[in-house]
A and B are shown apart, each in its own frame.
Chain A
């Protein structure tokens, strides 16, 4: 329905702007929008920039294919020592989110394995309200075109999944006071 509406809007825009040559970008957009949404993978529905990994850490399997998974809750000593859970940690351990067998994937409660570029689905399991707002562009950040292609930031771009409270920032300089204007 939405796609139809969008196409109509573009058509309207196209008619209104008939004196502009139809740009290839616009034509491309139209062709794509007429594809049924069901066939679109989630990654197309919510395009995101690459997950904010520490450079070099992915693929995790580089190391983990050699390491026997250890499901015991413990303090990590040999690796990932910087990761301290501060996120409902009483009820939770690493392997509730990370897949035990395939470390390159995240794991939903259903058992489904998902890639890191869909980590919002993981978060959405417990933060349904935020996830709903995120999908419509109200929580979090969308960029791109208000009337066309948009890209979303992952929850993880703003919230460290291990310690998700939003971190304070340094403000940019205040304006010049009127008495200091020369």
Chain B
């Protein structure tokens, strides 16, 4: 049995639900919702881990969330739970010889994935670096703001979740609220996350972000096409991150991610690592590819490359 299988087995035994039931019986109702809370609060509180939900339970959960969000934002919100497709392993490549650091991707991602506008959460961060020194992080500038980019002598390196094959973040989660899906996307169950932020400390790419406050997300800006494990509105006190636009890419007509489509220089590439005809495979086989912090053995499925 692999490490991962062993871990998956363990979660099933170590169900938080059981622990909570024990807690409720043992030390009374202190930590539980008030007696007169609406039924949905109780349902949410006793919801199983996403991976343990049966088909029917899942439908109920999705329906509950759709109702909740639709009421909250005053418009119809779709919450999908489209599963991974057999034979698909998602990968991403970013052309460092093209990127000009314009940050269109950062804001394209915010719009598509319903990040909080205020307080600000960005899943993508663009580093400005010196051409002479290469990827020398001590000198990385996050806040550059000249009239025009690129600036001479500089290059730009956007960083977001690397969807590692060997992710340090999921290993440290004490409640298994974050894991790798079969198509390689590392996801978070916001209803299960307890907000301890161990995963943020473990991630070497700074790719995980915490909801310190209620998300500032105007109803007019809400993208109503959401996925349970992706861009649905997040509660306070949970961690979130890039999911390769899970709400787009898992569909039968799987759209490219928002950042791929918004990039004005065409530096961002996405596809199926198991399809030898995909652009991502072409890049890995034909271009100079560079893995960020390769020595940490995180084995990202996010590659940097130089097309020229």
- Do chains A and B interact in one complex? yes
**A2-B277, A153-B266 given as contacts; is B254 within 8 A of A171 (CB)?**
no
Judged by DSSP, the binding face of A is loop
Task: List residues of B (87-136) whose CB comes within 8 Å of A's CBs.
Answer: 87-88, 95, 100-104, 106-107, 119-120, 122, 125
Q: For the complex, is A51 an interface residue (Cβ under 8 Å from B)?
A: no
Task: Please determine whether A138 and B287 come into contact, CB atoms closer than 8 angstroms.
Answer: yes
Shortest beta-carbon distance, B215 to chain A, in Å? 14
Task: Please determine whether B142 and A169 come into contact, CB atoms closer than 8 angstroms.
Answer: no
Q: Which residue of B lies closest to A180 (CB)?
A: B120
Task: Please determine whether B144 and A142 come into contact, CB atoms closer than 8 angstroms.
Answer: no
Judged by DSSP, the binding face of B is loop
Task: Please determine whether B86 and A16 come into contact, CB atoms closer than 8 angstroms.
Answer: yes
A contact residues, total (Cβ < 8 Å): 44
Contact with B along A1-20 (1 / 0, CB 8 A): 01001000110111011001
Q: Which chain A residues border B120 with CB–CB below 8 Å?
A: 175-176, 181
Shortest beta-carbon distance, A175 to chain B, in Å? 5
Q: For the complex, is B4 an interface residue (Cβ under 8 Å from A)?
A: no
- Expressed in whole angstroms, the Cα–Cα distance for A137 and B307 within the complex equals 12
Task: Please determine whether A172 and B253 come into contact, CB atoms closer than 8 angstroms.
Answer: no
| 20 A–B pairs (Cβ distance < 8 Å), ordered by A | A5-B277, A12-B86, A14-B252, A25-B252, A25-B253, A137-B282, A138-B95, A141-B264, A141-B266, A143-B261, A144-B255, A144-B256, A145-B255, A146-B270, A147-B252, A148-B253, A169-B100, A170-B102, A170-B147, A172-B107
The residues of B with any CB-CB pair to A shorter than 8 Å are 85-88, 95, 100-104, 106-107, 119-120, 122, 125, 142-150, 249, 252-256, 260-261, 263-266, 269-272, 275, 277-279, 282-283, 287, 307
